Amino acid sequence: DVVLTQSPLSLPVTLGQPASISCRSSQSLVHSDGNTYLNWFQQRPGQSPRRLIYKVSNRDSGVPDRFSGSGSGTDFTLKISRVEAEDVGVYYCMQGTQWPPWTFGQGTKVEIK
Amino acid sequence: EVQLVESGGGLVQPGGSLRLSCAASGFTFSPYWMHWVRQAPGKGLVWVAGINSDGSGTRYADSVKGRFTISRDNAKNTLYLQMDSLRAEDTAVYYCARHFFGSSGCPWGQGTLVTVSS
């Protein structure tokens, strides 16, 4: 199975400052079709997960442009350019290149300092 | 409005059974892979099972293989998860989700809580 390792697991951030979350895969996430199936999800307290980014860098509709995804192969990053109060929650990376199973990272908890 | 609404959760004794449902609305249900994902209290997200568009292909996490069955009724726009031989470690909120990698969004339901306890 593909293991996704996120870091840090806890990220205290000052409002208006940038934040960055790393997701490292135990295997390359480049599919034979040329795509890389790596998503980022946000889960606010008490809510269901919400997809922010799909296939590494594509932002979902309605997602603020302060969120961006990048990376390739086994190393991926979610960046928030300026953290706002509504960004508090847990962020998960998730892969769908080698399935089953589809696998998630452990989650990174973003909180305001 | 695209919507997924789960139901069927509750308290069940170890060894018991439950059937979860996920009613889809606001989009054409039949073309999409659908999945169940669970989250134990205070823990992360874990994929449980997936089913292809016409129901002919199913996949399971090793932890539930042989005990859980995913199915769908495209005429009723509904996804199911039959859970048998339930264990305490199956206690979680269960979410249904649409195809994870589509370009037209990846909606999730609000979740339904399953508690396995005597």
pLDDT tens-digit profile of B16-47?
Answer: 999 999 999 999 999 999 999 999 999 999 99
pLDDT of residue A16: 98
Over the stretch B46-63, which tens digit does the pLDDT of each residue have? 999 999 999 999 999 999
The average pLDDT across A67-96 equals: 98
Listed in sequence order, the residues at least 6 apart from B99 whose beta carbon sits closer than 8 Å to its beta carbon are: B32, B33, B34, B35, B106
Q: Which of B47, B59, B70 to mutate to test the interface with A (most CBs of A within 10 A)?
A: B47
User: Is B45 in the A-facing interface, judged by CB distances under 8 Å?
Assistant: yes
By the 10 Å C-beta count (0-12 exposed, 13-18 middle, 19+ buried), A63 is classed as: middle
pLDDT of residue B17: 98
Look at strands B112-116 and B10-12 and give their pairing. parallel
Please tell me which residue of chain B has the smallest CA distance to A58. B103
Report the run of H or E that residue B103 belongs to, with start and end: none
- Given A49, A92, A99, which is nearest B59 (Cβ)? A99
Over the stretch B57-114, which tens digit does the pLDDT of each residue have? 999 999 999 999 999 999 999 999 999 999 999 999 999 999 999 999 999 999 999 9
Q: Are B45 and B111 in contact (CB under 8 A)?
A: no
Average pLDDT, chain B: 97
E strand intervals along B33-77: 34-39, 45-51, 58-60, 68-73
CA pair distance A83, A95, nearest whole angstrom: 25
A contacts of B111 (beta carbons < 8 Å): 48
The average pLDDT across A36-60 equals: 98
pLDDT of residue A37: 98
